[in-house]
Structure 1
Amino acid sequence: MRIAADEDKCIGAGQCALTAPHVFDQRDDDGVVVVLVEFPAEPDRAAARAAAAGCPVAAITVTAG
């Protein structure tokens, strides 16, 4: 699986970083999403999918890869 985030769409809600802290973080200055791990390991995949599903502006995409 591959994780990508659209920084232009992100509103800094932070749900991704709360849901999958091993995969996502937020920039200190504006709260925009930072993808820490583009290809998460199996233990983090369910949380990464949940974070993508919970993003209020659909800024996170999960694809096979």
Structure 2
Amino acid sequence: MNFWEKITGSDLTRDWKAFEARAEALPEDYRAAWEEIKAHLFPHGDFTGRNLTPIFDAALGLLEETA
């Protein structure tokens, strides 16, 4: 990640679009679980949410694995 991406957050936008695309491929009940995970984890993030990216990636990977 370069300085410009960190300042503008374009890397986060790219990551979130990838997360949402992966979540769309899940069955309906797993997508509902994904929405609940997001809702419960967001309050624990920092200003940008950058610290939660690895956690969301792991949680989505777990949902993909179980589906």
The reply to whether TM is greater than 0.5 is no
Larger relative contact order, structure 1 or 2 (CA cutoff 8 Å, min sep 6)? 1
Name the TM-score class by shorter chain.
0.3 to 0.5
**TM-score scaled by structure 2?**
0.36
Calculate the TM-score normalised by the size of structure 1: 0.36
